[in-house]
Structure 1
Amino acid sequence: MILFSMPGFLSKLDRFTVGLVVSVSAGILIPCSGVWDTVFSRLSDAAIILLFFLYGAKLSRRSVWEGLMHWRLQSLVAASTFVIFPLLGILSIPMWNAVLGPDLCMGMLYVCMLPSTVQSSIAFTSMAGGNVAAAICSASVSSLLGVFLTPLLVGLVWSRGGADGVDFSTFLNICYIILVPFVAGQIAQRWIGKWVVAHRNVTSWTDHSTIWLVIYTAFSHAMVNGVWKNLPWLSLVEVLGFCALLLVVVLWLTAFLSRRLRFSREDRIAIIFCGSKKSLATGIPMMNVIFAGSPIGLLVIPIMIFHQLQLMVCSILARRWGRDLEEKKDGSL
């Protein structure tokens, strides 16, 4: 039975996990630097822009409006991101500080204060058959709120360093990369919407390749800047353990609350993926502003580990839930 199941394991769905492993390995073994660092950063931005343009072209305006107006779902995701996560972090300060030390402890706290990641939350929601329109609205609103709330939350729990606010260019960059392409896709939907819907592999490959590019670029930056050299292996294992525990707790809480509040299956998937994730792409640029003048070498370690861990775990959940949905559809035929 195991031998006969191997082709299924190496099916099309598993290309994403394989891509994750390849991206991490490539970032460690052959990191990009110099002009290539700029090239891959631009490619990542271009992939994200294309991703949201295609989502805008695919999703009906009615679905987008219903997702935006789904205030119960939006409220739960925002509460998970900016209330539940920070509370868990504050309660864990004594333990993190005693085991990890002040710098890594602050890095863990910073993870809890960040907005949700956008592209991977939406990609996983799409892969699992969830409410993509609601996920786009939740993740996008979370990113925009995070520009203002993350510095405020960090300032409330830590008095060291810090800045008065966040550069307005960060806000504009979010609009440029996420909202503008999505609106452009909505406008172009009249001409290309049917083609995009008919060619689902286009959005599927865009989902996956976007995440692969972001991962490769992030690990390349870490290798080039020598971040890993400053971290003992024991501390790395400890951070990994705390990140895993934090992720499991939040995944359980979002699943529990969304079920108790009687959300539909599609909405629960969007809530779990959007409410349990933290953005590396937003977090690192904001870190340079919030902690301007302070050393941030070790602060970046927890967000990098949590980001990769959440992608691995959520990819397993998305594939499993997507497979369950396909089996239900096949059974109903």
Structure 2
Amino acid sequence: MHLLKRIGLDTFMLLLIGAVGLGVLLPAHGAVAAGLKHVTYWAVSLLFFLYGAKLDPGAVRAGLANWRLQGLTFAATYILFPLVGLAFATLADPILGATIAFGLLFLSLLPSTVQSSVAFTAISGGNVPGAICAASVSNMVGVVVTPALVALLMQQGDGGVRMDSVVRIGTQILLPFVIGQVLRPWLWSVVARHKRLTGMVDRGSILLIVYSAFSAGTVSGLWQTVPGSSLLMLVCFVLAFLAVIMGLMHGFGRLFGLSRPDRAVLFYCGSTKSLATGLPIASTLFPADQVGAIVLPIMIYHMVQLLICAVIAQRSARTPSLAPGSSGSDKTSKG
């Protein structure tokens, strides 16, 4: 139970499921929905402001010295993952429909997790400073790179992401993040003293986004077009997606001769995706009545990645030879 709490698989996951159910069963209508839209807008801005205030650029600069590890992790997150996502989305389109397939591709364009990937790396005896750097860089550049990749790969009917979506990304996400980074020297002590409060803001904002997205989907009649068989198939696609990515991370860590601690970084940072970043970006980029279906793959992937990575990390802690990228004959560790 302690491990599950450490990686975030606790009451919050149950609250996420509850927010989905509430959005489906008791959706917001009329003036309430309009008010919820405004509240969600400012919640997203506050969320990214806090991300900017919490991310330590000093840790990023220190970790960049291991350029090979950081380069491989970055390439895995923003090149290899999107290519695999494009293949899975193409396969899923005729089976699950365009919107959910769209969500699979969007999932592949997100940055990696921060808290979870660092925790898993630590449990597995991996390079924790390297994981902190890789995860931080992924999220810092993801504020810009993810929308850019969406514009490049997820072409919509009007020829791409609309200009008003680009403007919203700049004003609602990028600007608060930059302000948080600029003010970090003055805000960090306050944030550090009130971790519980900032954590409540983080999670409360995400729950609000989830309820808003699934509520809008219910009002638009979206869920009437998504049968239970499609949800089951989506779970199968997500499991296969995660298995392929984890297999590639395992293989590339050994192929490039990374030490065991560095292979753990590549495995966890390269195979996980951030729900906390994906939900607000999706709510900013996509029409409200489609966001619920687009983020559904992200939510399923998030829950599955936590469960599977927790099992792998626990086994790695008990038996180092079973750590990500290791084999029974691997007894050495390169610096």
TM-score, length of structure 2 as denominator length: 0.70
Residue 325 to residue 86, structure 1, CA distance change in 2 (3 Å)? same
Name the counterpart of 2:187: 192
Paired amino acid for 1:43: V
> 1 CA distance for matches of 2:117 and 2:184?
21
Deviation, structure 1 residue 9: 7.7
Relative to structure 2, which stretch is displaced further, 19-28 or 49-58? 49-58
Could you give the per-residue CA deviations for residues 16-74 of structure 1, whole angstroms, max 9, x where no partner exists?
12211221121122111222223333333333322332232233332244578743322
Say whether residues 1:153 and 2:153 are aligned partners: yes
> 2 CA distance for matches of 1:140 and 1:173?
17
Say whether residues 1:116 and 2:117 are aligned partners: no
Name the counterpart of 1:310: 301
Which runs of 5 or more structure 2 residues have no equivalent in the other structure? 123-127, 319-335
The 8 Å contact of residues 85 and 250 in structure 1, kept in 2 or not, is answered as no
> 1 CA distance for matches of 2:293 and 2:302?
14
Residue 218 to residue 257, structure 1, CA distance change in 2 (3 Å)? farther
Deviation, structure 1 residue 304: 4.1
Residue 325 to residue 221, structure 1, CA distance change in 2 (3 Å)? farther
Say whether residues 1:164 and 2:153 are aligned partners: no
Residue 302 to residue 258, structure 1, CA distance change in 2 (3 Å)? farther
Deviation, structure 1 residue 228: 1.5
Name the counterpart of 1:291: none
Deviation, structure 1 residue 154: 4.7
Alignment of structure 1 residues 42-57 onto 2, 5 Å? 42-57=38-53
The 8 Å contact of residues 143 and 174 in structure 2, kept in 1 or not, is answered as no
Paired amino acid for 1:116: L
Residue 25 to residue 184, structure 1, CA distance change in 2 (3 Å)? same
The 8 Å contact of residues 273 and 302 in structure 2, kept in 1 or not, is answered as no
The 8 Å contact of residues 151 and 166 in structure 1, kept in 2 or not, is answered as yes
Say whether residues 1:41 and 2:46 are aligned partners: no
Name the counterpart of 1:272: 271
> 2 CA distance for matches of 1:224 and 1:256?
45
Name the counterpart of 2:177: 182
> 2 CA distance for matches of 1:326 and 1:40?
44
Paired amino acid for 1:216: Y
Secondary structure of 1:121's aligned partner: coil
> 2 CA distance for matches of 1:303 and 1:80?
21
> 1 CA distance for matches of 2:77 and 2:83?
10
> 1 CA distance for matches of 2:314 and 2:178?
31
Deviation, structure 1 residue 324: 9.7
Name the counterpart of 1:31: 27
> 2 CA distance for matches of 1:275 and 1:136?
12
TM-score, length of structure 1 as denominator length: 0.70
Percent identity (aligned)? 23
The 8 Å contact of residues 78 and 275 in structure 1, kept in 2 or not, is answered as no
Name the counterpart of 1:72: 72
Relative to structure 2, which stretch is displaced further, 264-273 or 181-190? 264-273
Could you give the per-residue CA deviations for residues 153-205 of structure 1, whole angstroms, max 9, x where no partner exists?
356xxxxx822232222223223233222222222222221232243323433
